[in-house]
Chain A
Amino acid sequence: MTELVPVLSATWADEKSWSLDTYTAAGGYAPLKKALGMAPGDLIQAVKDSGLRGRGGAGFPTGMKWGFLPPDDGGPRYLVVNADESEPGTCKDIPTMMSAPHALVEGVIITSFAIGCNHAFIYLRGEVVHVYRRLLQAVREAYEAGHLGKNIHGSGFDLDVTVHAGAGAYICGEETALLDSLEGRRGQPRLKPPFPAVAGLYARPTVVNNVESVASVPSIVDKGVEWFTAMGTERSKGMGLFSLSGHVTRPGQYEAPLGITLRELLELAGGIREGHELKFWTPGGSSTPIFTQDHLDTPLDYESVGAAGSMLGTRALQLFDDTTCVVRAVTRWTEFYKHESCGKCTPCREGTYWLTQILKRIEKGQGTQADIQQLLDTCDSIAGRSFCALGDGATSSIISSVKLFREEYEAHVEQGGCPFDHAASALFEYADAPEEAHA
């Protein structure tokens, strides 16, 4: 049995867990003092050696990202924290920042010191106002305690942190769209290269890191590289938050070494809701190809999930039981991508529109068998053909669900409607025949 390892989540149940006092009493900001006594290059090397990989979905090695910054030219360089958590199913950074915002703030200070940044930004999605309150307060407390500002703890290092609220746009979770948004523009992805390390915020060298990645840094500094690399699998080191949601007895945040399996997690979470079986699930959010019961024992690390045909993504495990119509689920995700496509690239903008039209008519029982192939052909015209991965993500659940549940698509066509009772999927009881949601 793989053991859970609460690190980031260790203090979440403490009294006023979000306060500086609670965080400090639990050992917080001691890693900062240790880090300020180290050479920045040694800090970068330590994070490289730890094997920490980006926790925002792509899994790019964090230390390597830091190492890509060009040599200091005397001008500013920036750290931007991606706190725009919006990938459907993903709900780990919000509780992290709500319950322990200082873990992020301390991570920001150490990271900034390592990369030579004097002004860092936290870009938080705008739709979580209490999280914003907690972050604003945490940053203010950090200034008051001398953890931020000029000559931090006599080190000669200066740092300002700005916490910035977005305004509702999934695409701003894409790092270059986020940078455009932070510059006060429409959040549309940039063509790469140049990558942000070379020309990021205000065209200056910039590191963009996910909340969980940055918040993991103090623990690595504190407990050491060997402690971190002892967790996880060969190329997926350390711990991560696994977010279980949907038809599970005890949904929530389970912090575990990478490589834990869904079977193990389900055992701790009380299993799929009583009287039902797991039908399909996403390993890492709606942009990752879906899995079934056949993948209960797939180690949830980057390599194993990839080898099984999906992606670890954000470890957002959305679980759906045997009452759930896969066509309904995929149609709704596709509507999401259509809504959130920024409109810059034609394949994504037009493709998600047409995918939605086709899926809606299949779901309503008005589709044809040829529509199923048309879906796959349209996916071919989208994937890999746009600036960013939003369009690619839109195709993931479609392609994987047609592969795994083609007969369910066909049943909608043959029966002229959805064979499932939507009321049976709900977590509360309701009597009347379910009405179709209207836009």
Chain B
Amino acid sequence: MTYDESTLTQLAEDAAAIVGRYPVKRSALLPMLHLVQSVDGYVSPDGIQFCADQLDLTAAEVSAVATFYTQYKRRPNGEYQVGVCTNTLCAVMGGDRIWDELSEHVGVGHDETTEDGQITLERLECNAACDYAPVMMVNWEFFDNQTPESAKQIVDDLRAGKDVAPTRGPGKVACFKDVSRVLAGFEDGRADEDQGAGAPTLAGLKAAKEQGWKGASK
């Protein structure tokens, strides 16, 4: 492994914290792979060996797991993972067109990264925000109700180093490595940041209030 001593010390400390959450050590593997991505920006050969050493597995066993899941990247990832949902509902509502225009604008295709290392594009499967279609995700934050123009603007702003806020989520999108650390189960103190719940989330509640229905609390 090529990690320097301080990186390795921090990794080992974090790995121990992850292992401590589970009754059986191997359960720590998925969060530990997110942890590796928070340091290396992808699941590196060093990261695979690190997980194997921590969990008494072989590198082959770790690789077999890592390659099963789409969030684990096999090549250095962009600072921003930009996914356009092209599953049926979003695709029909305009996701296909957003993908076409965005992909042409950025100049890379699915699972490819721009030369400046900023943007990795992905055609997403359903991300559970269908009431906000068409949807885009940047580093797993919600960008709802997109158009080709809004999607291109977001990517341009990200590449220009501007702060970009999701439509639901924190005040600003964090970089890929920072988000990976959260996914490893380490809080970043941003849970209270909020852009509002969004009209579709509250649509039924609003309709019930307008009708004066209090059925559930009678």
Residues of A within 8 A of B (CB): 3-7, 9-10, 12-13, 16-19, 76, 85-91, 93-95, 98-99, 119, 125-130, 132-134, 136-137, 140, 162-170, 181-187, 202, 231, 239, 241-247, 250-256, 268-269, 286, 316, 318, 320, 324, 328-330, 332-333, 336, 339-340, 342, 422-423, 425-428, 430, 434-435, 437-439
Contact of A16 among B132, B192, B206 (CB under 8 A): B192
Contact (Cβ within 8 A) A243 B97: no
Tell me if B197 and A99 are in contact (CB < 8 A).
Answer: yes
Q: Which of A136, A243, A340 contacts B187 (CB 8 A)?
A: A136
Query: Is B1 an interface residue when CB atoms closer than 8 A count as contact?
Result: no
Q: A162-B21, A246-B133 are known contacts. Are A129 and B204 too (CB-CB below 8 A)?
A: no
B55–A184 touching, CB < 8 Å: yes
Which among A6, A89, A119, A129 is the interface contact of B126 at CB below 8 angstroms? A89
- Tell me whether A165 and B125 are in contact (CB under 8 A): no
Q: Is B6 among interface residues, defined by CB-CB distance under 8 A?
A: no
Complex-state Cα separation, A286 to B125, whole angstroms: 12
State how many angstroms separate the Cβ of A6 from the closest Cβ of chain B: 5
B30 CB, nearest partner CB in chain A, Å: 5
Q: Is the CB of A329 within 8 A of B213?
A: no
Show 11 residue pairs from A and B whose CB-CB distance is below 8 angstroms, ordered by the A residue.
A119-B23, A125-B128, A128-B140, A129-B140, A129-B179, A133-B190, A136-B185, A140-B187, A184-B30, A255-B205, A332-B87
Q: How far is the CA of A389 from the CA of B192 in the complex (A)?
A: 38
Apart from A7-B216, A126-B183, A166-B71, list 19 A-B contacts with CB within 8 A: A3-B215, A17-B197, A86-B125, A95-B198, A126-B140, A137-B192, A184-B65, A185-B29, A185-B65, A186-B68, A241-B204, A250-B199, A251-B131, A330-B88, A333-B87, A426-B92, A427-B145, A434-B96, A439-B110
* Contact pick for B92, options A4, A183, A269, A425, CB 8 Å: A425
Give me the 4 closest cross-chain CB pairs, A-B, nearest first.
Answer: A252-B203, A252-B200, A184-B29, A254-B204
| Interface residues contributed by chain B, number (CB under 8 Å) | 87
On chain A, the residues within 8 Å of B148 by CB distance are 428, 430
Q: Which residue of B lies closest to A162 (CB)?
A: B21
Q: Which residue of B lies closest to A128 (CB)?
A: B140
Chain B neighbourhood of A316, CB < 8 A: 130
B99 close to chain A: CB less than 8 A: yes
Given A129-B182, A324-B92, A428-B148, answer yes or no on A339-B125 (Cβ-Cβ < 8 Å): yes
Q: How far is the CA of A298 from the CA of B3 in the complex (A)?
A: 61
Name the CB-closest residue of B to A135.
B191
Which residues on the B side are within 8 Å of A423 (C-beta)?
A: 97
**What are the residues of chain B within 8 A of A162 when measuring CB–CB?**
21-22
Q: Which residues of A contact B183 (CB under 8 A)?
A: 126, 129, 132, 165, 167
* CB pair B130 A182 closer than 8 Å: no
Q: Say yes or no: is B34 at the interface (Cβ < 8 Å to chain A).
A: yes
Assuming the contacts A88-B87, A128-B128, A167-B34, asked whether A268 and B207 have C-beta atoms less than 8 A apart, the reply is: yes
Structural contact, B126 and A336, CB atoms closer than 8 A: yes
Judge whether B215 and A5 touch: CB under 8 Å. yes
Contact A133 to B191, CB < 8 A, known contacts A165-B31, A318-B89: yes
Q: Which of the listed residues A6, A164, A231, A250 has the most CB atoms from chain B within 10 Å of its own CB? A: A6
B interface residues, Cβ below 8 angstroms from A: 21-24, 26-31, 33-34, 55, 64-65, 68-72, 86-89, 91-94, 96-97, 99-100, 103, 109-110, 123-134, 137, 139-142, 145, 147-148, 166, 168-170, 179, 182-185, 187-188, 190-192, 194, 197-208, 211, 213, 215-217
Q: Which of B24, B65, B88 contacts A329 (CB 8 A)?
A: B88
> Using Cβ atoms and an 8 Å threshold, which residues of chain A touch B205?
6, 9-10, 12-13, 253, 255
Point out the residues of chain A lying under 8 angstroms from B23, CB to CB: 76, 119, 202
Report A248 CB to chain B, min CB distance, Å.
Answer: 9
**Which residues of the other chain, A, contact B201 by a CB distance below 8 angstroms?**
12, 95, 98-99, 252-253
Knowing A94-B129, A245-B89 are in contact, say whether A183-B216 is a contact too (CB < 8 A). Answer: no
Contact A253 B92 (CB under 8 A): no
Q: Are A427 and B207 in contact (CB under 8 A)?
A: no
B156 to chain A, nearest CB (A): 18
Contact A336 B191 (CB under 8 A): no
B92 and A437 within 8 A (CB): no
Give chain A residues whose Cβ lies under 8 Å from the Cβ of B190: 133
Complex contact B92–A329 (CB within 8 A): yes
Instruction: Point out the residues of chain A lying under 8 angstroms from B208, CB to CB.
Output: 3-6, 255
Instruction: Name the residue on A nearest B127 (C-beta).
Output: A127
The 8 Å CB contact of A182, one of B27, B70, B94, B187, is: B27
- Whole-angstrom distance from the CB of B29 to the nearest CB of chain A? 4
- Asked whether B65 lies within 8 Å of A4 as measured between CB atoms, the reply is no
Judging by beta carbons under 8 Å apart, are A13 and B197 in contact?
yes
User: A10 to B217, Cβ gap below 8 A?
Assistant: yes
